[in-house]
Amino acid sequence: MVGLKLNDTGERVKYLQELLTFAGFPPGAIDGVYGARTADAVLDCRRSEGSNATSGNSITGAAAKQILTAFVRRVPR
């Protein structure tokens, strides 16, 4: 997931979109396209984890950690 950015496509983007959806931040369609709605979902998810990020246009290590943390919080125990 690290290294993904706006306009990327493919299975890695689908994985990101699935994580966001299950974490409660649906990016719209799970279509493998990192578009504006996926970027918005990334930003919303990161902010929910306390980030001061201003854009969801790319996935850094910090972003990946925040997304995975949000996902884990939603997994039933």
Residue 53 domain flag: yes
Contact 35, 2 (CB under 8 A): no
Mean pLDDT of 45-57: 97
Nearest to 32 by CA among 51, 16, 55: 16
pLDDT of residue 64: 97
Mean pLDDT of 3-7: 98
Per the structure, the complete domain to which residue 33 belongs is given by: 11-74
Mean pLDDT of 9-19: 98
Q: How far is residue 57's CA from residue 34's CA, in Å, rounded to a whole number?
A: 8
For residue 65, what are the CA distances in angstroms to 1, 21, 29, 31, 69? 10, 16, 23, 22, 6
Residue 6 domain flag: no
Residue 2 domain flag: no
Q: Read off the pTM.
A: 0.95
Q: How far is residue 77's CA from residue 74's CA, in Å, rounded to a whole number?
A: 9
